[in-house]
Amino acid sequence: MDIQKLEQIFKKNLEPYKKDFGFVCFFGSLNLKHDLDLFVSPNKNIKKGYFLKKLISFLEIIKSDLSKEKTRLLVIWHSTYEEEVEYLNTEKNSLIIHISSFPDIQPVPTPNYLPFLKKTEKVLSGDYNSISKIKRTKLDYYYNYLFISNCLFSNYPGKLEEKKVSAKVNYIYKHLTGKKRELNGSSKQQFFDCCDFLDSLAYQNPVK
């Protein structure tokens, strides 16, 4: 697997998501032997929970296409979990993708890597200027928390993935409603339900 082949796979599958994703690019060293930096941001009128659900759906397609190339997809949602994801990876022929999105740009982080996004030559979809149009909400802390603590596509053992996802979404429910919920469904469904829950609250009175 080389960067050109990977670029083709991503661009082919991004077509149905162009209205959902504002800017998508590869950036950084593009050294697939280590990991690949991918940035994906929501379009300006897209709710963040809805965006996260679309991002998961998109990654499922990428995972399927990579498997046809005998490559396994491994996602690092935040550098905090990089070592454990790599430790849990037992297959040699894996593509490790470090995903960045709205938690990494609002507020502007230190160090600030927005200049790297602006000058990347590997734009897959959209426009860099769309980043500045992402709308903020009063629940951004919880959206960021949900994104950063996600472990789908990270090759966690099944029971650990279930435990972690349920703990993280119930943290959000408890802080916003005062109590935890009885959770049902797969880890993915629990994640999706939490996305819908946040959207139902955040966009009643969005930050202007």
Q: What is the pLDDT at residue 87?
A: 86
Arithmetic mean of pLDDT, 22-36: 92
Q: Is 127 helix (H, G, I), strand (E, B) or coil?
A: coil
Q: Is the pLDDT of residue 111 over 80?
A: no
Are the beta carbons of 124 and 14 closer than 8 angstroms? yes
Q: How confident is the model at residue 106 (pLDDT cuts 50, 70, 90)?
A: confident
Q: What is the pLDDT of residue 105?
A: 86
pLDDT band at 98 (very low <50, low <70, confident <90, very high): very high
Average pLDDT over residues 67-90: 89
Higher pLDDT, 176 or 79: 176
Q: What is the pLDDT of residue 206?
A: 58
Instruction: Output the pLDDT for position 81.
Output: 87
The region that residue 30 occupies, defined by phi over 0 for left and psi between -120 and 50 for alpha, beta otherwise, is left
Alpha-carbon gap, residue 147 to 105, rounded angstroms? 13
pLDDT of the residue at 110? 62
Residues of the chain above pLDDT 90, percent = 78
Indicate the burial class of 159 (C-beta count within 10 angstroms; 0-12, 13-18, 19 or more): exposed
What does the pLDDT read at residue 114? 87
Count the Cβ atoms, other than its own, within 10 Å of residue 185. Answer: 10
Per-residue three-class SS string for 81-116: HHHHHHHHCCCCCEEEEEEECHHHCCCCCCCCCHHH
> Which whole number is the average pLDDT over 70-94?
88
Residue 208 has pLDDT above 80, yes or no: no
Both tokens assigned to 105: 């740009």
| DSSP-derived secondary structure for 23-44 | EEEEETT--TTT-EEEEEEE-T
CB of 81 within 8 A of CB of 154? yes
Q: What integer best gives the mean pLDDT of the chain?
A: 93
**Under a CB-based contact definition with an 8 Å cutoff, are residues 53 and 199 in contact?**
no
Q: What's the average model confidence in pLDDT over 75-79?
A: 92
Structure tokens at 166: 């349920």
Give pLDDT, residue 112: 80
pTM of the model: 0.94
- Which CA distances in Å does 61 have to 58, 65, 89? 5, 6, 20
